[in-house]
Structure 1
Amino acid sequence: MSTLQTDILLETRIADKAGVPVDDVRDVFTEYGLPLVVSPARPRSLRVHRLRVVGERTGDVEPGPFNTPMTFSAGLTALVASNFRGKTSVLELLTWCLRGTPRSEMQNRVRGWLRQVDLDATIAGEAMGFRLDLADGEITSAAVLTGKDAAALADVRAPDPARGVTALLRAASTDSYAEQIAGLMLGRMDLQPLVNSFKETSTQTHGWPAYFGAVYLPAGGDKALLGEVATNGLPGRLLQVFLDLPAAAALTRVKAVRDVRVAEAKARRSAAQAEAAERALERERLETELSRARDHLADLLPDSENDTPLVDLASAAVQLARTLADAQQAWDEASTTFRRARTERQQAAKLLNDVTESATARLLFHGLNPSSCPRCDQAIDDTRRQQEHQSSTCAVCAREVSGDDEEPQEVTDEARERLATSTTVEVTAKEALERAEETVDSLTRELEAAETQLRRAQSAAQLPARLAAQEKVLRLEGALSVFREPETPGADTAEARAVIILTAAASLLDQDSKDAAAALFQEVNQEIAELAILFGVPSLEKVAIDRSARLRIFPLGSKPEWFTEQSAGARLRLRIAVVIALLRVGRRYGVSTHPGLLLIDSPKSEEMQSDDARKLFTELASVAAESDLQVVITTADFDLAQATLPAPTIRQAEVGASLW
């Protein structure tokens, strides 16, 4: 089938699945710069030739200036030195030049030694020279040169038109260099930024540093099978660096654009909802303020029905205050009269009781009844009163009371009459007191009303406050009259149609990629299992990797396990096995687009026995030779390197000495 027929078929399939005309599919793919072509795999070779490090080492170990060149074999190169003698630093320097930033393993102390770092490499068939000048661990100037071949760049640190050497980029800082390298390498390697949705509201973009994780393999303890980031589906997307499956690149771009469109639409809806809620609160606030302002203005306005002049209101209030004072005085007098009448009634009742029961009381009825001695003011207590009734002795002088009780009934009748008279007087006094109380209460209410009316009628004094209150009411009414209600975002038919088309395209491309991967992954799984066993992964029956870069392990006689459940040493060996298997099968099918460069740091340190390490080094050297793969590996085991690797592949320092 020709490319044109394939293109027509793909756009027709997308149109049929989305239920739209073919022209709509073409318009959407053109608008977003997406290919309707399943492009063949493009080689992305990456080779390093020569590294030169210049600076001055400080500290106790080999202090002093250094200027160390280092070359790399076409296949495997082993960097051999004692621990903490610069092996990992070489990998980090290669990474800094090629990725734009070193990893965290690059110590600040080591960075501070550096003055110049030069790297000659071939990127996608183009010779490039990376030239860094540093001070205090930071780039002060940098350039990437290009020439006709790597030999033309040797010992050249600046553009030289005579030798055909020109500059691809220049940078004056660490950040500038990192940014420019990221753009340069994406372009030269024909890679698109990896975009994924983040929390369904926004997107994240990963550039060349994320891809570089397929070159510099993570340590054994890392959870990611490929790359440095295990989340957001990045390991699966890095598979396209290893195996350019049919439609894989197009699928990644279509999904990225679709996810961006969906995330932006959701973000707009969320923003519209937030604005609507905010506008509703604003309207509620304005209405509440307006209600309060109207109430305040009403309190300041005079009563239109009783708009009495201020002088008359003040005069009436004064007159009411005087009348109330007189009424309160009358009430005081009525209260005194009532208390006196009540006392007289109580005494009359007691006297009636006494004359009814005691002859002595009848004999003394018409006499005085003092409460104290008339001469010395000594109080006559209750004891003397009781003795008067019981022993017929005078409560004042204590002399015996004698005489004839000749008219008992008359005395009793007179006492009863006195009680009746005093009771009548008490009732009359109480009625007078109640009328006085009613008068005081009524006058008090009238005075309070007059004072309230007087306060509200102070027009001249409250005019500024009234005008301000009226202005506030008018301002709030005006604000509400022009209040902009939140707009409900209308349906964007063009965007909705684009999402439908992109979703249909992603579904079709995903199925095409899945179908193409089915047979390919069978061979990849077989290669991974065989290599893992060679590298020392014990009791392994088979493995299964999927397009999301998830690796499942099937041990002999045991239940399946995931890659993340393995030990650090097993993870490193499996990771190397996966990378080599993908490269081998990809080249076999002509779909491998991995740069062909692997950086592996101290694999033996990851719980690896010497026999397993020998197998790993031997197999890596063999694979590198037969698969056009360049591997830079480090080890502190001098015997291991010498026993398993050809001498030309070893870059070795003396025991205890620095590699550079």
Structure 2
Amino acid sequence: MADDVKPTDATTLLTKIAKKAGRGVEDVRSILARHGVAYKPSIAVPKHLCITSLAFTGKKKGETAPGPVNFTWGDLSPGLRAIISDRNFRGKTTLLGLMRWGLTGRRGKRIPTEFAETFHTLTMAFTLDGQVYEVEVIDAIDPVGTLWRVDGGSRLALDTFSSAEGFEAVMSGFFMGQLGLQMLVTHADLGDKGVDQPHDWVWLSGALEIEPDPDNLFGSYQALGSRMMQMYLGVPWTNAVNDVQAAKTRIDIEARQAVSELERTRERRKSRIEEIDAEIAGLRRKLRGLPSAEGQRGDLAEANRRFAEAQGRLRSAVRSMAVASEDREAAKLAYDAARRDLREFKEGRAAKTVFRSLDPVCCPRCDEVFDEERKQANNQDHTCVVCGTLEQPEGNPARQEAGLKDAVADAEARLTSQERRKAALAKAMDGARAEMRETEATARDLEAALAEPSSAYPLELELARLEARKEELGVDDAKPSESGDDHQVLRIAERVTQAAFKPLQDELLGEVSGLIEEYAVRFGVVSLEEAKLLGNTNLNMRKNGGIAWFGTQTPGEKARLKIAATIAIIKVAERRGLGRHPGVLLIDSPGSNEMVDRDYSNLIAGLAEVAREIPHLQVFVTAAASETILGHVARERLLYAEGDRYLW
């Protein structure tokens, strides 16, 4: 390590943070501790991992090579090993998945879901700095098993598990402790609450894998790639910076959520006030609809007054009805007499007409015969031929009849008028009686209501309660919790800590960048002229005289660049005695991404050379069988499914 790049101790860092924040050291320490930030020295002690054997049993189902499975691959050691087959889909990638499952306790995407019940047991042995350990899964479906420490012929159970989650927890706890790794924590905003999301060995073990078409230069996740790279490089205080950044995010999210919750509370308060306003309006309408005692007493007096008036009208109508009845009877008599006179006149006229039309020839009593001379004489004298009575002249019968008809009409009109008078008086009497009954009932109801307690009282109490509640809700003095001072201290802590390790990080990244360039060229990226690894894990390159970035490369170039970067980090960390990468690489099908034969040959040859240069490095690569593989990897270091055979 260069003399001008020295680690800074925790006390010095805390003193600088306190000075910039204008606070005491203990105050800063307390704030950091409150947010889960601990400035503890983290000394990397590199340990070398080596998978020494893999065995599993099971039963294949379906039409493709069904039957029992009993696979064993032992005597594995550091260096380059290849898992190859003459045909595709022979189980190469699944073997890498089973190795990763044994290391992490989690089934990954390299073990297809259709194989969920294929494997019954799994046993994988490995060493860490020569100490032998063994993962034994006696039920791979649940799974159930034990992590053993092996000393000679004896085994010591370090931990057991009986579920998928338990398997993950056992392997994570083991490797995090053995490799000196710290859980990386992020704080995520899940809408209504913030949640700490821990990233342990399952996530950190992504640094052991190389995909055919990688998205990230180092590890499997871009979000925390820089922190993981710093951890594996052994950059000091990266754990503290990770905690600080998580705490800052947590405070930011909690502040946003506090503001959101405050707004939701205000909206709920506003909505409740509107509901109360509606309830108050309804109560007031009900109260307006209820009669007051004073109004009821006035209504009672009015009902009594109307009863007395109706009673007076009834008495007056009764008196008038007696007179009207007499007048009607007189009019009826007059009408009947007029009709009788007219009838008698008409009947007399009719009789005279009949008798005058008669021409008697003899006396009806004595049968005396009337001669013609007598008849003529009587006609001239206007005397009756029978009785000799002198006939009186009739005057004007038509005028007489018209006068009699007029008399009948006048009498009828007087009778009709008197009958209408009686009907009006009867109606007035009925109206007066009805009003008397109505006003009497109203008076009784009012007297009963006045005797009862007021129904408005409970409504008035509820109205007062609601108005008090509305006034209480109208007071809005809520404010988001203040965390500005803590946030300021965390921001300063992040800057001071990053500045403290930046010189060493820059120096380490410089060494890594040089090795990336060297390895990438050896792996076939011959157009690479310069490579510069940045602290955010972006790779800035110059190729063919122009600027290029990792994400813009072809799948084959990205795979080779990622292999180069990962091995460079392992090499620099090992050289410095700082790193935590255990030195195992699982490289899946690098030749599947349209890599030309020459580049593929360079990659395999380069891997073989690098594996010899770094004695503890163990590399497993899957590939289709080819002259390239067979020419660079010794036969005893191959797991080869020839022809139509399957690897397991």
Distance 2:177 2:308 in 1: 97
Q: Deviation at 1:83?
A: 1.5
Find out whether 1:618 has 2:611 as its counterpart: no
> Residue 647 of structure 2 aligns to a residue in which SS?
coil
Distance 2:552 2:459 in 1: 73
Distance 1:18 1:73 in 2: 53
Find out whether 1:656 has 2:648 as its counterpart: no
Distance 1:49 1:518 in 2: 36
Partner of 2:125: 120
Partner of 2:564: 577
Which amino acid in structure 1 is aligned with residue 21 of structure 2?
A
Aligned counterpart for 1:87 among listed residues 92, 112, 133: 92
1:602-648 CA-partner distances (Å, limit 9, x unpaired)? 11111111221121112112212222211111111243221011233
User: For 1:53-92, what aligned pairs fall within 5 Å after superposition?
Assistant: 53-71=56-74, 72-81=76-85, 82-92=87-97
Distance 1:649 1:206 in 2: 34
1:537-594 CA-partner distances (Å, limit 9, x unpaired)? 2422222221111122322133x23221222111111111111122222223332221
Distance 1:226 1:270 in 2: 37
1:328-371 CA-partner distances (Å, limit 9, x unpaired)? xxxxxxxxxxxxxxxxxxxxxxxxxxxxxxxxxxxxxxxxxxxx
* 8 A contact 2:145–2:161 mirrored in 1: yes
Distance 1:484 1:235 in 2: 50
Find out whether 1:250 has 2:250 as its counterpart: no
Aligned counterpart for 1:12 among listed residues 15, 31, 35: 15
Partner of 1:289: 279
Find out whether 1:182 has 2:172 as its counterpart: yes
Distance 1:302 1:228 in 2: 80
Which amino acid in structure 2 is aligned with residue 78 of structure 1?
A
Distance 2:161 2:138 in 1: 10
1:79-129 CA-partner distances (Å, limit 9, x unpaired)? 122321111111111111212212223112323221111111234765322
Q: Deviation at 1:459?
A: 7.7
Given the superposition, is the C-alpha separation of residues 644 and 457 from structure 1 closer, same or farther in structure 2, using an over 3 Å criterion? farther
Q: Deviation at 1:509?
A: 1.4
Partner of 2:574: 587
Which amino acid in structure 1 is aligned with residue 182 of structure 2?
Q
Partner of 1:173: 163
* 8 A contact 2:6–2:504 mirrored in 1: no
- How many pairs were matched up? 513
Partner of 1:268: 258
Given the superposition, is the C-alpha separation of residues 296 and 648 from structure 1 closer, same or farther in structure 2, using an over 3 Å criterion? same
* 8 A contact 2:210–2:586 mirrored in 1: yes
Find out whether 1:513 has 2:501 as its counterpart: yes
Q: Percent identity?
A: 27
Given the superposition, is the C-alpha separation of residues 35 and 104 from structure 1 closer, same or farther in structure 2, using an over 3 Å criterion? same
Q: Deviation at 1:211?
A: 0.7
Distance 2:641 2:629 in 1: 12
Distance 1:4 1:631 in 2: 33
Aligned counterpart for 1:147 among listed residues 145, 150, 154: 150
> Residue 216 of structure 2 aligns to a residue in which SS?
coil
Taking structure 2 as the reference length, what is the TM-score of the superposition?
A: 0.71
Distance 2:493 2:462 in 1: 60
Partner of 1:228: 220
* 8 A contact 2:36–2:247 mirrored in 1: no
Q: Deviation at 1:38?
A: 4.2
* 8 A contact 1:240–1:249 mirrored in 2: no
> Residue 116 of structure 2 aligns to a residue in which SS?
helix
Distance 1:486 1:73 in 2: 71
Distance 2:581 2:229 in 1: 9
> Residue 95 of structure 2 aligns to a residue in which SS?
helix
Distance 2:477 2:160 in 1: 49
Q: Deviation at 1:487?
A: 5.3
> Residue 59 of structure 1 aligns to a residue in which SS?
coil
Q: Any stretches of 5+ residues in structure 1 without a counterpart?
A: 153-162, 324-449
* 8 A contact 1:124–1:188 mirrored in 2: no
Find out whether 1:636 has 2:629 as its counterpart: no
> Residue 111 of structure 2 aligns to a residue in which SS?
coil
Which amino acid in structure 2 is aligned with residue 85 of structure 1?
R
Q: Deviation at 1:467?
A: 5.8
Q: Deviation at 1:476?
A: 2.2
Given the superposition, is the C-alpha separation of residues 309 and 37 from structure 1 closer, same or farther in structure 2, using an over 3 Å criterion? closer
1:175-229 CA-partner distances (Å, limit 9, x unpaired)? 3323443344333333222223435973533222211111122331x42222222
> Residue 139 of structure 1 aligns to a residue in which SS?
coil
* 8 A contact 1:49–1:121 mirrored in 2: yes
User: For 1:358-397, what aligned pairs fall within 5 Å after superposition?
Assistant: none
Find out whether 1:204 has 2:197 as its counterpart: yes
Larger deviation, residues 175-184 vs 528-537:
175-184
> Residue 62 of structure 1 aligns to a residue in which SS?
coil
Distance 1:227 1:126 in 2: 26
* 8 A contact 1:521–1:546 mirrored in 2: yes
* 8 A contact 2:184–2:200 mirrored in 1: yes
Larger deviation, residues 171-180 vs 207-216:
171-180
Partner of 1:444: none
Alignment RMSD (CA, Å) = 3.6
Distance 1:59 1:120 in 2: 30
Distance 1:632 1:91 in 2: 8
Given the superposition, is the C-alpha separation of residues 128 and 279 from structure 1 closer, same or farther in structure 2, using an over 3 Å criterion? farther
Partner of 1:600: 587
Which amino acid in structure 1 is aligned with residue 88 of structure 2?
N
Given the superposition, is the C-alpha separation of residues 46 and 458 from structure 1 closer, same or farther in structure 2, using an over 3 Å criterion? farther
Find out whether 1:548 has 2:559 as its counterpart: no
Distance 1:648 1:68 in 2: 17
Given the superposition, is the C-alpha separation of residues 308 and 115 from structure 1 closer, same or farther in structure 2, using an over 3 Å criterion? same
* 8 A contact 1:52–1:69 mirrored in 2: yes
Which amino acid in structure 1 is aligned with residue 220 of structure 2?
E
Given the superposition, is the C-alpha separation of residues 198 and 491 from structure 1 closer, same or farther in structure 2, using an over 3 Å criterion? closer
* 8 A contact 1:279–1:486 mirrored in 2: no
> Residue 36 of structure 1 aligns to a residue in which SS?
coil
